[in-house]
Structure formats: C-alpha cells, structure tokens
Amino acid sequence: MATTRTGTIATTDLCVAQISRLLDQDPGDWDRRAHRMGVLAEFLAGSHLPRSWATREPRNASALVLHAWTQLARGRSQGGLEDTADVVDSCLRAAELAPEDPTAWVVVLGAARLERWEQPQVFGVWNEVLARDRWNREAYLSMLGYLTPEEAGSRIQVLEFVDALCARMPANMPCAATELTAQVFQYHSVLGRGGFEALVARNHWSHAMAAQALDRVVHTWVQPGFLRHAKALADLNVLAYALMAADRRHEARSVFEALGGVVTAWPWQTAGDPVNEFDQAQRRAAAGQ
C-alpha cells in the first residue's frame, strides 16, 4: 500500500512539474496562457490534481487559477458552480500574487456569467481583465454570451457591445471573432424557435449586419499568418460554418483548406455530430453544392 501511494505521489509530482513548465512558457503572452489553462482545465475537470496542487502550493498563481478554472469547467457542464466562493477566492489570491496576469480575472468573469451576477458586478470584473489584456478573447466571448437575451442581457446590448469593439479593434486581434460569433448566436436563436422561422433561418445571413460581418473577414482570415492567436483555428471553424449557413460555398472552400481538417465542437455540434457535420459541409463546399 505504501508503495502504491508513493507511486501515486510521484506521478502527481511529475504531472504538476509538466503542467507548471507548460504554463510558464511564453511569459506575458496572455492569449496563449489562457488557452493552455482552459484546455488543461477541461481535461482535468474530473481530476483531484488541480485542488491538490493548489493546496500544496497556496502561493502559486498558476496552481490557484487552474484549480478555479477546473471548477468553472465542471460548473459549466453541471449548470452551476459547486462552490462559488472558493472559485472567486482562489482567483483573487492568484491576482494578488501575479497582478499583471489577467487570467484569474477571466475565470472570475466566467464564474460571474455562469452564476448570473448583476451587470454592475460583471462589468467591474470585465474592466479588470481589460486593464491587463485589452483584446482578451476568452473575456470578450464570455461578455458576449452574458449579454445575450438568453442570459442576462438583450439584443440591443449585444449590438452596442459588438459595435463598440469593432470601432476600435485591430482586425487580427485574438477577439476578432466576437462579431461573427454574435451573428452565429442570433442565427441559432432563430433556428431554436422552430416552425417556419427555422425553415427560413438562412435568410439571417442575407441581412446587412450578418453579411457585412462575413464580408469583413472572409478574405483576410485565410491569409497565412493573419490570425496568430492560439485559437485561430477555432475562429476559422466559426467562419466556415457561417459561410456554409449563408450558402457562400465557394468562399468557404478556402477556409476549409486553411483548416486542414481541424474540427472544433462548436458551432458544428448544433446540428449533430461535429465531425460528421464538418465533413459533410467540407464536401459540399468542395463540390460547390
């Protein structure tokens, strides 16, 4: 029994060392740090390792944020957090230890969205992120979701949020897909109504705002090196999906080529198995059908 426990501890120590090295790479690149932290949190959502690491190293900002983010990942799958206070406390302690790092505030923002905090509180957290990372992808998409009518906002608030972003954001920032994501959200909202509206949902993409959102990015995003952030391929999946929904198959062909077969679950999963939906769409785009 002692041998088994020793082996378990040694394995945990090895995993922690590897995770720590990964998270310490590219210091100051908050986009990649958030991406790595998010992937690890989803993978470790059912593991005791993040809590164990945070308990053993209570002054390690990476350990605290990973512990909080794994709780957020579990909360998203369960519809709510098990211990909101622990998530927020872990993040606030991490923010004190690494005040320049926005990642802890990104997790607080995710928790605030999930728990439907009041808008003044949420915008306060949002401002903490922006003070550290002006174009943080995770934060913009969290705020976009929070402001939808399905959550705590309204269609008008979504429009104002997207308009304010587009007015000042350089075209290739990590949050570049916020506007297009908002259009996909609205398209899905129409589909969700069912009946006749769902049958004619494709008309959404012929409306000026939706068409312009596609026009602004369809030719630039596929250029080699234009999008350099960690989740560029996820954003290209959104573009390919939207172009196919808009019946702009010729333009979608180059996006599928740029993707090289890399599939993300969202937004393809809306209509079924994401890999099957992606493959069928790719074949239709190649055939121009």
Domain map of the chain by residue range? 1-133, 173-289
Residue 99 CB neighbours (<10 A): 10
What integer is the mean pLDDT of 165-190? 97
SS3 state of residue 220:
coil
What fold is seen in the domain 1-133? 1.25.40
* Segment 215-221 long-range contacts (CB within 8 Å, at least 24 positions apart): 216/171, 216/179, 217/171, 217/176, 217/180, 218/243, 218/248, 218/251, 218/255, 220/171, 220/172, 221/176, 221/255, 221/258
What was the pLDDT predicted at 178? 98
pLDDT, tens only, 78-130: 999 999 999 999 999 999 999 999 999 999 999 999 999 999 999 999 999 99
Residue 9 has pLDDT above 70, yes or no: no
pLDDT band for 288, please (50, 70, 90 cuts). Answer: confident
pLDDT at 5 over 60: no
Q: Are 172 and 226 in contact (CB under 8 A)?
A: yes
Average pLDDT over residues 243-249: 97
Cα dihedral value 6, 11, 12, 17, nearest 10? 130
Q: Round to whole Å and give the CA distance between 58 and 94.
A: 9
Q: pLDDT tens-digit profile of 134-148?
A: 999 999 999 999 999
